[in-house]
A and B are shown apart, each in its own frame.
Chain A
Amino acid sequence: MNLQINHHTIEQTHSLKLAGEVDAYTAPKLKEVLVPLTEKEGQEIIIDLSGIEYMDSTGLGIFVGALKSTKANNSSMKLRGMTERVRRIFEITGLTEVMDIENEVKGEAK
């Protein structure tokens, strides 16, 4: 029950690769890494969620906060590689409409 965050920065582009669980316990760790990136002007943040096994509304809340912050600072945030499960909670809550999400077409046929 933990969260690993791999962080690479090349100029204005920040790539975060997350693995594990995002819940009330691990959320502060994500926030600590993500929020400062969103507060700078003109940054591009790309978050790979393919290693996320569990996420609930605490995680959604962080991404909502980060999205608002990037917009306010002329930056952008993209979410990549969601598993079906993670994509489902973004869909249920309607966040797929407002977030920049790109997932590999995987198991799309059903």
Chain B
Amino acid sequence: MNTASDYLEMTVPAKPDFVGVVRLTISGIANRMGFAFDEIEDIKIAVSEACTNVVNHAYSDAELGQIRIGCNLHDDRLEVTVVDQGKSFDYNKVTENLGPVDGKPVEQLTEGGLGLFLIETLMDKVEISGEAGVMVMMTKYLHRDEVEENVDRTSPASSQ
């Protein structure tokens, strides 16, 4: 990347049909930035989860809501924000029950609620705010020194 930070934004209808489209785009961006395969997969899941939450919870059926996805491409990290203009929610209340299944009996398992947990686990930093609508901002850091990069500098990797 030439500049300190490139910014991309897209807006898609809050429908399940477009979650995969967002995922493909994010995958392309992360790939472009030089993330490793597993990291790209993590980012894909986290962003899809945030979009799926908007699709499922933000708007009532009658509303035609939208999902706004902003990507900030920094030298050392990718920041993705997923924003809706729907109902906000009580973050503390939602995160109270967040976590892995942890030996709960099958009857007590719930079918939802794993999405936010996955976002927090798969990304390096996650911030959620919910004043008017919900904004999820998640960050994944690039670990450039661990992978070979075709950057314009001499690689000290084999100097030892």
Contact = CB atoms under 8 A, between A and B. Distances in A.
A57 B114 contact: yes
B interface bracket (residues with beta carbon within 8 Å of A): 20 to 34
A82 B121 CA distance: 20
B111 A56 contact: no
A7 to B, nearest CB: 22
Given A25-B20, A57-B52, A67-B106, A62 B100 contact: no
A1 B114 CA distance: 22
Majority secondary structure, B binding face: helix
Interface string B108-133: 01111011011001100000000000
A11 interface: no
A32 interface: no
B101 A24 contact: no
Contacts of B118: 56-57, 89, 92-93
Interface string B80-97: 000000000000000000
Given A21-B20, A54-B44, A56-B52, A71 B100 contact: no
B101 A92 contact: no
A68 B19 contact: no
B26 interface: no
Interface string B19-36: 111011000000000000
A71 B106 contact: yes
8 contacts: A24-B51, A25-B17, A56-B49, A56-B115, A60-B114, A64-B109, A93-B118, A98-B106
Interface of B: 16-17, 19-21, 23-24, 38, 41, 44-45, 48-49, 51-52, 55-56, 100-104, 106-107, 109-112, 114-115, 117-118, 121-122
